[in-house]
Amino acid sequence: MIKGPRIFLVIFLSSFCGLAYELTLIRIFSISLWYHFAFMIISIAMLGLGASGTILSLYPRLRNPSHIAMYTFLLGVSIPLSYVLSNQIPFDPVRLSWERTQLLYIGLYYITLSLPFFCIGLIVATAFASLSEKSGLVYGADLLGAGMGSMGILYVMTIMGPDKVVFILALIALSASLIVSKNWLRAISLVLILTALSFFFFQPSVTKLRMSLYKGLQLALKYPGAEHIKTYLSPFSRIDTFRSPVVRFAPGLSLRYLHPLPEQIGFSIDGGDINAITASGDPRPLAFLKYLPSFLPYEIGQKDDVLILDPKGGLQVLVAQMAGAKNVSKIESNPLLVEIIRKDYKEFSGNIFGDNTYSGLGRSWLKTGKRKFDIIDISLMGTMPSASFGISEDYRFTIEAFNEYIGHLKPDGLLSINLFILPPPRIELRLLNTIIASMEEMGIKKTAKYIVVIRTWGNICILVKKSPFTLNELNAIKKFSRDRRFDLIHYPGIKEEESNIYVRMPSNEYFTAFKNALNPETREKLVNDYLFDIRPVHDDDPFFHYYLRLKNIGAIYRIMGEKWQYFIEEGYILPAVFIQVLFLSLVLVMLPAVAKRRVDKKDRLKLRLNPILAYFAFLGIGFMFVEISLIQKTILPLENPSYAMATVLTSILVSSGIGSLFSQRVIGLTGSVATLAISFLAIIYSFFLPEVSDFLSLHSMPVKIILVFLILMPLGFFMGIPFPSGLKILGRIDNSLIPWAWAINGCLSVLAPIMTIMLAMAIGFKGVFWLGALAYLMAFTTLTLFSSAPHRSSAQRLPE
């Protein structure tokens, strides 16, 4: 038996490693696959935790506290082992459309990567089972360790990549095992510590991160003469610079421009989004800038004050400079990219990020000031067009975002948006409908007079003016398009014969669709009858890139060439993963119920229907619904998903740990009180957070992180009380049920992250918040029912 505070220290360090490994895996998935698969990591972690409860329920001997030393040792082994094994699994989401075996590989990911979390579950659940009367202290150590892990890992990843962080976490876990192990186990731990150190410093090939062969960086480096230059790392992104023939970054360049392009250095973000830095030393090759569709706003409008949002490699900055713009401000959401170009490509790029360059989310930066602009330029393009995964949030293109953009234009200012054409039309139409909804919300009617759209062979440029376009401006637009052989899609008063002239499409569907969208009498019918979902999006459901309509799956399948790849990109991997996880969770939850060694048939039914077990199920669902909704709601004020996740997890887990410790000493802090408080606070926060977002945007990033941390603490404090309170009650009745309760809570938490995304697409994150509140209210109800029913004490329970 491990005595004294050592067991709480082991729990703290194990949970530290667990949450840190979880965030490390999110970065690994972002690089090796795509960021949009990060939701799987939370489910994987909870699956491992839930499985540990099932095993401890089936095999009571494993609940002996003396085994904690071995479980901690296995944690130290399983962290690097699970990473190395998963790195060899040939899963690639692109191949899902033609390889059904890829679905099996998803299952292998779940099993392999859940091993460390399984070990953590064994440690914590064993401690709960043996120390049920001190469950508040156990849970407090667990949550505080996890909270510190979520923040500590950010610092570690500022100095090394996630593939090396894995071995740092292994060292911490193996060091924890030294605290409680003896003799031979301690000797083996020391040997493995030395082994982990050697892997950390020498990094054999088996430990290097494997990236999907279909990501932009991998494809670019396959070209003859391609050369990788350097890799840069931060806690939130990996940027690789390279030379490749594929890097010819001139989106929509007129076919009338026949001269060579200047030298360009390519770069990728997390191996995916490809863009380029353009050499600007010699002005002659830069003449191509005038032949880009994005040059249009500078031909017709004032250009004293220009704002470029997310300039990436700076092409739009060069366009503005070529046009003679006087004051050019740049807002780049990736601070690492700004640092790279400033330090390593300052002369090459012409110091494009010298003055008036800021890091952050463009709409948040605009909210902090009252400055107005002649032109606000937004580009949605890289060197390789790629569809965004439908399950990814994007707060740049919601109605609320366009309210900010248009609201910060001068009276005759222009909003310019450039994007790739990806037929059939859907991105363009949702963008247009969102802009129209924003303008109408701001009181601008007859929006067709304020919008111009042109098309090239591969791009669309949408201009939005704060006042109606004048006749002189429309003539200039026609001349610009005619000289460069660009096609007109819409301008006020356009006729169909004026469109689809130079780059002819089989049907003039862009003209027809835009005409119907801009006509108030036909817009509703277009939106309702269109093949894809092109409705405007709000901040509460920011899935801008999700266009799938269930009723039209058959027609969409046919129009997409009878390929499943589109559905995978739209997020239809979610149901497949959900079904797999649901099956595993049901097996893990039901195994203790049907095991003959538990109780006889008569009592087994009572256990199945016992409200206290339902109580833990509702806690698992409610906690994850609320936590993930909080992360999503803080992405906007914190301007980065990684900042939001780290801040929310640290705040909720640390404050929950404090709440758990308080519940151990304060008699009035019961599970009933806490569940009611959480239900009430979750509803309050669902309304309060969007409103406080505007206030947070006015402050610097460190201040915003501190404020979010403090704002979430009251809710987090109460979220740490129900679980240990329930375990304490369960321990008094039958502590052999504690591992099963742990399994039920964990397995329901496995399903919740996937359910959160699926539900948010349908009802928004505010709706998910309310469902989380309802889950806690149901937990309160089940606890009340349990408290009012007679129970057999642990001394009277049947023998195992």
Q: Give the pLDDT confidence score for residue 388 in this predicted structure.
A: 42
Q: Are residues 155 and 25 in the same domain?
A: yes
Q: Are residues 502 and 580 in the same domain?
A: no
Q: Are residues 294 and 443 in the same domain?
A: yes
Q: Are residues 163 and 285 in the same domain?
A: no
Per the structure, the count of domains in the chain is 2
| DSSP notation for 273-292 | EEEEEEP-SSSGGGGGGGGS
In a domain, 242, yes or no: no
Q: Are residues 52 and 181 in the same domain?
A: yes
Instruction: Give the separation between CA 465 and CA 297, rounded to whole angstroms.
Output: 10
Cα separations (Å) of 48 from 527, 620, 659, 745? 44, 14, 25, 12
Element of type H or E holding 732: helix 722-734
Long-range contacts of 778-782 (CB under 8 A, 24+ apart): 778/614, 778/618, 779/615, 779/618, 779/619, 779/622, 779/671, 779/675, 779/722, 780/672, 780/675, 780/676, 780/679, 782/611, 782/612, 782/614, 782/615, 782/618
Give the bridge partners for 463, in sequence order: 416, 452
Q: Are residues 571 and 620 in the same domain?
A: yes
Q: Cβ of 411: how many Cβ atoms within 10 Å?
A: 8
Instruction: Give the separation between CA 295 and CA 247, rounded to whole angstroms.
Output: 20
Contact of 214 with 99, CB cutoff 8 Å: no
In a domain, 256, yes or no: no
In a domain, 754, yes or no: yes
Q: Give the pLDDT confidence score for residue 787 in this predicted structure.
A: 66
In a domain, 233, yes or no: no
Q: Are residues 423 and 333 in the same domain?
A: yes
Residue 33 phi/psi, 5° resolution?
-115, -105
Q: Are residues 178 and 317 in the same domain?
A: no
Q: Give the pLDDT confidence score for residue 36 in this predicted structure.
A: 61
Instruction: Give the separation between CA 216 and CA 223, rounded to whole angstroms.
Output: 12
Task: Report which residue type is found at 469.
Answer: F
Of the three residues 536, 556, 581, the one that is the final residue of a domain is: 536
Q: Are residues 280 and 172 in the same domain?
A: no
Q: Cβ of 9: how many Cβ atoms within 10 Å?
A: 16
Cα separations (Å) of 52 from 83, 370, 405? 19, 55, 50
Instruction: Give the separation between CA 430 and CA 7, rounded to whole angstroms.
Output: 55
Element of type H or E holding 691: helix 671-696
Least Cα distance to 189 among 197, 20, 52 occurs for: 197
Q: Cβ of 263: how many Cβ atoms within 10 Å?
A: 16
Residue with tokens 């459901």: 541
Q: Are residues 375 and 490 in the same domain?
A: yes
In a domain, 624, yes or no: yes
Q: Are residues 668 and 720 in the same domain?
A: yes
Count how many residues are written for the chain: 800
* Three-class secondary structure of residue 329 per DSSP: strand
Instruction: Give the separation between CA 150 and CA 627, rounded to whole angstroms.
Output: 14
Q: Give the pLDDT confidence score for residue 609 in this predicted structure.
A: 43
| CATH code (residue 622) | 1.20.1250.20
* Three-class secondary structure of residue 500 per DSSP: coil
| DSSP notation for 516-537 | HHHSHHHHHHHHHHSSS-----
Least Cα distance to 659 among 6, 4, 143 occurs for: 143
Residue 662 phi/psi, 5° resolution?
-65, -40
Give the CA radius of gyration of the chain.
28
- Non-local (6+) Cβ contacts of 671 within 8 A are 615, 721, 722, 725, 726, 729, 779, 783
Structure tokens at 414: 């222009």
Q: Cβ of 485: how many Cβ atoms within 10 Å?
A: 15
Q: Give the pLDDT confidence score for residue 306 in this predicted structure.
A: 96
In a domain, 778, yes or no: yes
The pTM of the whole model exceeds 0.85: yes
Q: Which domain holds residue 116?
A: 6-209+567-796
Instruction: Give the separation between CA 50 and CA 590, rounded to whole angstroms.
Output: 12
Segment-wise mean pLDDT, segments of 10 residues, the chain, 800 residues: 76 94 89 72 84 88 90 95 92 77 82 93 90 83 91 87 93 92 88 92 89 89 94 91 92 93 94 90 90 95 93 94 94 93 94 90 87 92 46 86 95 94 88 96 93 94 95 96 96 94 90 94 94 92 85 81 68 69 82 62 48 86 92 87 86 92 78 92 91 82 91 94 86 79 85 83 90 94 73 39
- Non-local (6+) Cβ contacts of 609 within 8 A are none
In a domain, 626, yes or no: yes
| CATH code (residue 456) | 3.40.50.150
Contact of 730 with 615, CB cutoff 8 Å: no
Q: Are residues 317 and 452 in the same domain?
A: yes
In a domain, 555, yes or no: no
- Non-local (6+) Cβ contacts of 20 within 8 A are 149, 150, 152, 153, 156, 165, 169
Of the three residues 496, 515, 536, the one that is the final residue of a domain is: 536
